[in-house]
Amino acid sequence: MNTLEMLLVAWGAVTIVLLCIWIYRSTLENREEDQIFLAEAGQSMANEQRALVVKIEKLSRPIAGLALTSGTLLVVIAGYWLWQGFQSF
What is the per-residue pLDDT across 19-39, written as a single tens digit (0 to 9) for each?
999 999 999 888 776 666 566
- Eight-class DSSP state of 42: G
Neighbouring CB atoms inside 10 A of 44's CB total 10
Strand residue runs (E) in the chain: none
Dihedral of CA 13/14/18/24: which sign?
A: positive
The pLDDT assigned to 15 comes to 98
Return the half-sphere exposure (C-beta side, CA atoms, 13 A cut-off) of residue 22.
11
Instruction: Give this prediction's pTM.
Output: 0.82
Each domain of the chain, given as residue ranges in start order, spans: 43-89
